[in-house]
Structure 1
Amino acid sequence: MIVPMKKVTVVVQDKDKIDLIEKLGKLGILHIEHVQAPSGREINLIKEDIEKLEEAVDILSLFSLEKERKEIGDWKVFIRQVIELKKKIDCLREELNKLKEEIAVWEDWGNFEPKLIKELEGKNILVKFYRIPLREIKKLPSDLVVKEISKKKGMCNCLVIARREIKLPYPEFSLPILSLEEMKREKEKKGSLILSLENELREKSKFIDSLKKIKLDLEREKEFVEVVKGMGEEENLSYLRGYIPEDKVEEFLNFARKEGWGVLVEDPKPEDNVPTLLRNPRWVEILSPLFKILEIFPGYQELDISMWFLIFLSLFFGILIGDAGYGFIYLLLTFLIKKKWKDRIKEKSIFYLLYLLSTSAIIWGLLSGTIFGQEWLSNFIKPIIPSLRDDKTVQGFCFFLGAIHLSIAHLWKFILKLPSLSSLVELGWVFILWGMYFLARMLILGDLLPGFVKFIFLLGFVFILFFTHPQKNIIKGIGKGISNLLLNLVNNFTDVVSYIRLFAVGLATIAIADSFNRMAIDLGYQGFFSGLITSLILLLGHTLNLILGPMSVLVHGVRLNLLEFSNHLGIKWIGFPYKPLKR
C-alpha cells in the first residue's frame, strides 16, 4: 500500500533555522523538498571529501584482513595515503607489465650488456638486431657479419655487424636500456615493492569500518547543509517544505506547537513531486530488497503491485527453474549464507524471499518429476502431474497464466474507476484478453477456436468503443474508442503470447541438465579417470544451470511484472522513496 502524504510548510525566524533543522532531524518524519536548489562552496567541499572516502573504501575493500573498529586520527591524511599507495601500485604494475614484455622479447637473445654495444658504436662498429627468415640469411651482403643467436619457426634472431649504416627489410629490434639479467632483477624488485605496498594497504584495511562511519556522518552533514541552503527566505523569515505520512500529522503538529513554529499542512497537488512510502504486510515486505536491487519505485500517484508481483514472481520462478534439485540447492545455499553472514546483511527479508522462490522451484519440480533433469529419473520417479511433461499443456498453461495476470491489472483499474462509466472499458479489455488467449491457443497450439469467442470479442469491442471516453456526443466518444482499440489490440495479443517465454526458458533449463546427464552416463564410472571426468561434467553442467537460472528469472520473470503487467496498469515506476531528514 502507498501511504497517503501531506505537504508541510514550516516557517521560523531566520535566526532559528539551524535549530529548526536540528530538531526536525531528531523528530525524523519530514521528507525535505528544497525550496531552491542548494549550492555553495561548503557543499562542494563535503562532496569532494565523500568522493575521496568512497575511493579509499573501494581500494581497501579489495583486501580481506579482519576489520577492527579503530578510530582514525586524521582521516583526511589517512585516505590520501591510501589513494597515493594505490596510484603507486598501479604505476608499478604498469612498469612491471612492460618489463615482462621486454623480457619475453629478449629472452631469445640471451644476456648481454647494452653498454658494450654502445661503446662499439663509438668505434664505428654498428651492431643491429634483426629477425630474418633462415632462407634469406645467405642472400645478405658479403660485407656484413651475421651472428645467428636463436631459431624458431623458420626465423632466426641475428646480430648483424657492419662498418657502415645499414637498413635491412626485416624486423629490427631497438637496443634495450638494460641487460636481460638487469631486467629480471628489476622485475623482482618491482614485484617485491608491489607486495610491500599491498601489505601496507592490507594493514590499513582494518580501518574500513571507521571510514564507512565517517562517510555516513559526512553524508548526513551534507544533507543538513543542503537543507539549510535549500530553504526559502522572506525578509527575516526562513521556511522549508516537505512531506509527512498522513498518520504522522498530529504528532508533527504537537511537536511544532511546543517549538513555536508556523506550520501549513495541505494536500499535495497533482504537479507536486511527492515521495512514496510503501507499507505492506510482513509476508509482502520480503519483496522490498528486490525493488532496491533493481532501483525501481512506484510513483506516488501510481499503484503498489508488491503483493501481485510477489505471487506471480514465485510462480514464474518455479516454472523457469522447474527443477526440484536446483530448488533444494538454492534453499541450502540461502540457509548457509544466512547462517554465516546474517550479521553482515541488514536486509534479512532477502533470505525469506529466496526461501519462498526456492520452495516454488522444488514444488514445480516435484509436480513435473524433474530433479537435476528428467530423463535419468524416468524409470524411478513419476511426475505428480504427468501433463506437466507435455509441451502443449505447459504452453497452454503459460497463455492462461498470462491472461489471468493481465486480467487482474484491468479488473483492478475497473474497481478504481467505479462508479464512472469509463470503468467499463477495463471490462472490455478483460474480454479482449481472454479472446486473445483462445486465439493464441488456435494459432500456436492448433486448438479449434470455440464458438463463444466471437461473442467475447464483440463484448470487448462494444465496451471499448462506447466507454473509452463516454460523453453526450456519441460519435466523438466512439472515435476515441476506435483509437484506443487500434493502438492496443495487437499489443494485447503479443502480451499474452509473451508468457510462452516461461515455457521456453524452463524447457531450456531441463534440456541443458539432460544433455550433461547423457554425456556423463555415456562416459560412465568404469575407471578412476572416467569417473573423475564424469563427475566434472555433472558438476560443471549443473553449476552452469544453477548460475543461469536466476539470471533467466531476472530477465524474464521480473520483466513480465515490470513491463507487461505494469503497462496494463499504467505504472511507469517513476517514483522515489520517502526519506525523512534524520540526525
Structure 2
Amino acid sequence: MIVPMKKVFLVVQNKDADSAIKNLRRLGLLHLEHEQDPKSREISSIQDELNLVNQAITVLESVAQEPRLGKIKHEKQEGLKIVSQQIIDAHKRYEHLKEYSVTLKSHINQWERWGDFEPNDIQGLKKNNIYLRFYEVLKNQINNFPKGVVIKNIFTQGAAANCLVVSIGCPEIPFKEIEPPKISLNAMKHRLSEDARTIEFIKKNIAEHICYEDDLLILKNSLDKDLEFYQALAGMGRDESLTYLKGYMPFDAEMKLLTAARKEGWGILLKEPSEDDLVPTLMRNPAWAALIRPLLKLLEIIPGYRELDISPLFIIFFSLFFGMLIGDAGYGLIYLFLTMFIHKRIGRRVKDKSAFFLFYVLSSCAIIWGILTGNFFGHEWLAKTGFKPLVPALNDVSFIQAFCFFIGAVHLSIAHSWRAALKAPSLSALADVGWISIIWAAFFLAKTLLLGDGFPFFGKWLIIAGLTLVLFFTSPQRNILKGMGVGLGTIALGLMNNFTDVVSYIRLFAVGLAGVAIADAFNSMAAGINKGTIITLVVSGLIILAGHTLNIILGPISVLIHGVRLNVLEFSGHANVSWSGFEYKPLSEK
C-alpha cells in the first residue's frame, strides 16, 4: 500500500536553524521540499569533494576483479582526498596511454610494409632539394607520374600500388600524398613496448589503492549526508528573525514529530496534502509483495502518491508470466542454482536480499510450468522417453492461446475492479464495471476471430451493457448530454484498445513457444550429428551447450520485455497507474 502522508510546516528562530536540521535528521521522518534553491559555499565545496571521491570509487570498481594488493589502509579525510586525486590522475594517464597505444598500433600496421626509415632523414634531404614522397595509386596509374621522378613500388595491395617517389625539386604530382610518420617504425615499436610496460605499472598501482576502497565508501556516505544537511539548511525559507521549512512525513509518525517539536520549541503545522502538492511515495507491503521492489528499482519506476500500489498483483502475475515465458524446468533449475550460488558468494555483503528471494520465486515458477508442460531442456526428447506432462492441455496450441486471452481478461478486469472499488459509492464506478463487460466481450471476440470459436449469444449483450455504462457513467453529471459526450470520447479512445490489450497477452504463448522450438531445434541438430564417435559426441555436446545457453540468456531478456510490459503498460493503463511518482527520502543520519 501507499502510505498516506502529512504535510508539515515547521518554523524556528534563525539561531536554531542548524540544531533543528540536526534534530530532524536524527528523527529521520521528514522528506524536505526546499523553499529556495539551496546554494552555499559549503555545498559547492562538498560537491567538489564528493565528485572527486565518486570518480576514485568508480576507478577502483573498474579494477575490482584485480587481486587486492596490500592490507586495508585507513586514512583521515584529507589523506583520502589526496589518495582520490592520485587514483584519478593515474587512471587518466592509463586511459591516455591506452588510447595512444591504439593509435600507435594503427600507425605501425600502416607503415610496417614500407619498412623502417628515419623521418628526420627525409627532412634533411629536403634541405638539399631532394624530395621523398609516399603515394598509394592504382597500378594502371603509375605511368601518370610526371617525367623526371624516380618511382619505387614498395608493395601492392589488391589493385593499389604503394610507391616511394624521389625527385629533384618538388614537381606537382596529381595524386594525394601520404603523410609520413613523425617517428621511425622502430621508434614506434619501442614506444609501444614502453607504453605497454607503463600501462601495466599504472594498472598495478591503481590495484594497490583498492585497499582504500572501504574508507572511500565511508567518506562518500559521510559527504552525502553532509551535502544533504547543508542543502536542507540552505533550502529553508527566511523571514526576518524566523526560518521555516516544509516537507512530508508518514501519517503514523505524527506524534513522534509533535513530541520533538514541543521539546525543541518549534512552531509546527500538520495538514493533509492538497491536490496540487508533489507528494513523495512510500510503499509498505507484506514481505511476499515487497519482493517486486528490486524490479521496480531496476526499471526506476514508482507509482504516484495518488495512484494504486499494484505490487501484490505485480509479483503474482509477473511470476506467472516468468514461468510461461521461460517455460522449461531445466532452465528454471539453472536460474535457481545460479541464484543460490550468487546468494552464497555475495549475500553477506548485500543489505537488501529481496532480489535473491525474487529469483527463487521466479525460478520455481519456471520449474513448475516446465513440469506441467513436460519441458526439460526441450520437449521432444522428453516426450520420446514416454514422459507425460501433468497438464497435457497446456501443449495444445488452441487451448494455450485461449488461456492467454483468459489471463489477459482476468488481469485487466482486476484493474477495473480495483478502480471501481476505490470510486464507490460514486456512480462513476459503474463505468469501470462497463469496461469489465467490454473486456470479456473482447475475450470472446478474440477467440472467435483468432481461434475460430463461435461467438456466444450473450456476447452482444456484454458489449451493449458495457457501452451503456461507460457512456452514461464515465462522467455522471446533471447535464446528461455533456456527460454522454465525455463517455463517447472515452469509448472512441478505449474500445479498440481493450481488444488489442486482451490479444497482446498472446505474447506469453508465442515467446514461450519460441524458446521451446529453439531448444528442440538444437537438440535435434545435435542428435543428427552424433554418430557415436568421440568427435561427433563432442560436437553434439557443444551444439547443445550453445543452444541452451542462448535460451538461458535470452529468456530473462524476453521476460523483461514482455512480462514487464504486460504489468507496466497494459495492466497499469487500465488501473490508471502512470508511474509518475518519486521516492520518499527523509532527511536522516543513515
Write out aligned runs for 1:492-531 (5 A): 492-524=498-530, 526-531=532-537
Equivalents in 2 of 1:466, 1:131: separation in Å? 80
Q: Give 2:117's aligned amino acid.
A: F
Equivalents in 2 of 1:517, 1:5: separation in Å? 57
Q: Secondary structure at the match of 1:363?
A: helix
Q: Give 1:500's aligned amino acid.
A: I
User: Is 1:132–1:170's contact at 8 Å kept on the other side of the alignment?
Assistant: yes
User: Is 1:428–1:463's contact at 8 Å kept on the other side of the alignment?
Assistant: yes
| Residues 1:85 and 2:87 are matched in the alignment | no
Q: Secondary structure at the match of 1:39?
A: coil
Residue 493 (structure 2) aligns with: 487
Q: Give 1:431's aligned amino acid.
A: S
Please point out which of 353, 357, 366 is paired with 2:371: 366
Using the size of structure 1 for normalisation, the TM-score is 0.95
| Residues 1:469 and 2:475 are matched in the alignment | yes
Residue 22 (structure 2) aligns with: 22
Report the more deviating stretch, 498-507 or 93-102.
93-102
| Residues 1:576 and 2:582 are matched in the alignment | yes
Deviation per residue, 1:43-62 (Å, 9 max, x gap): 23322222222222111211
Residue 94 (structure 1) shift:
2.6
Q: Secondary structure at the match of 1:577?
A: coil
Please point out which of 72, 75, 78 is paired with 2:75: 72
Deviation per residue, 1:55-113 (Å, 9 max, x gap): 22111211123386432342222222222222222222232222212211221122233
Residue 154 (structure 2) aligns with: 149
Deviation per residue, 1:169-213 (Å, 9 max, x gap): 456433333222121111111111121122211111221222122
Residue 555 (structure 1) aligns with: 561
Residue 339 (structure 1) aligns with: 344
Q: Give 2:519's aligned amino acid.
A: A
Fraction of identical pairs, as percent: 48
Residue 155 (structure 1) shift:
4.5
Residue 572 (structure 2) aligns with: 566
Distance change (3 Å), C-alpha of 1:491 and 1:142? closer
Structure 1 vs Structure 2 CA RMSD: 2.0
Please point out which of 238, 244, 250 is paired with 1:239: 244
Q: Give 2:9's aligned amino acid.
A: T
Deviation per residue, 1:223-279 (Å, 9 max, x gap): 101111111222212122122211111122122222222221212212112111111
| Residues 1:408 and 2:407 are matched in the alignment | no
Residue 354 (structure 1) shift:
0.4
Q: Secondary structure at the match of 1:161?
A: strand
Q: Secondary structure at the match of 2:384?
A: coil
Residue 49 (structure 1) aligns with: 49
Equivalents in 2 of 1:29, 1:154: separation in Å? 76
Report the more deviating stretch, 205-214 or 18-27.
205-214
Distance change (3 Å), C-alpha of 1:172 and 1:250? same
Q: Give 2:107's aligned amino acid.
A: E
Residue 152 (structure 1) shift:
4.1
User: Is 2:145–2:174's contact at 8 Å kept on the other side of the alignment?
Assistant: no
Distance change (3 Å), C-alpha of 1:224 and 1:165? same
Deviation per residue, 1:473-509 (Å, 9 max, x gap): 4333333322222221111111111111111111111
Structure 1 residues without counterparts, runs of 5 or longer: none
Residue 62 (structure 2) aligns with: 62
Equivalents in 2 of 1:306, 1:239: separation in Å? 36
Equivalents in 1 of 2:111, 2:570: separation in Å? 62
Residue 383 (structure 2) aligns with: 378
Equivalents in 2 of 1:274, 1:430: separation in Å? 31
Distance change (3 Å), C-alpha of 1:116 and 1:237? closer
Q: Give 2:538's aligned amino acid.
A: L
Equivalents in 2 of 1:237, 1:393: separation in Å? 71
Q: Give 1:306's aligned amino acid.
A: S
Residue 540 (structure 1) aligns with: 546
Distance change (3 Å), C-alpha of 1:167 and 1:103? farther
Report the more deviating stretch, 33-42 or 216-225.
33-42
Report the more deviating stretch, 27-36 or 286-295.
27-36
Report the more deviating stretch, 56-65 or 156-165.
156-165
Q: Secondary structure at the match of 2:428?
A: helix
Residue 139 (structure 1) shift:
7.2
Distance change (3 Å), C-alpha of 1:152 and 1:566? closer
Residue 432 (structure 1) aligns with: 438
| Residues 1:320 and 2:322 are matched in the alignment | no
Deviation per residue, 1:403-451 (Å, 9 max, x gap): 0000001111111122222211111111111001000111111111011
Q: Secondary structure at the match of 1:287?
A: helix
Using the size of structure 2 for normalisation, the TM-score is 0.94
Residue 580 (structure 1) shift:
1.4
Q: Give 2:30's aligned amino acid.
A: L
Q: Secondary structure at the match of 1:264?
A: strand
Residue 515 (structure 1) shift:
1.7
The number of residue pairs the alignment matches comes to: 583
Q: Secondary structure at the match of 1:83?
A: helix
Write out aligned runs for 1:261-300 (5 A): 261-300=266-305
Residue 401 (structure 1) shift:
0.2
Equivalents in 2 of 1:11, 1:432: separation in Å? 54
User: Is 1:525–1:534's contact at 8 Å kept on the other side of the alignment?
Assistant: no
Equivalents in 1 of 2:481, 2:160: separation in Å? 87
Equivalents in 1 of 2:16, 2:274: separation in Å? 29
Equivalents in 2 of 1:149, 1:491: separation in Å? 70
Residue 521 (structure 1) shift:
1.4
Equivalents in 2 of 1:287, 1:315: separation in Å? 13
| Residues 1:443 and 2:446 are matched in the alignment | no
Please point out which of 226, 229, 250 is paired with 2:231: 226
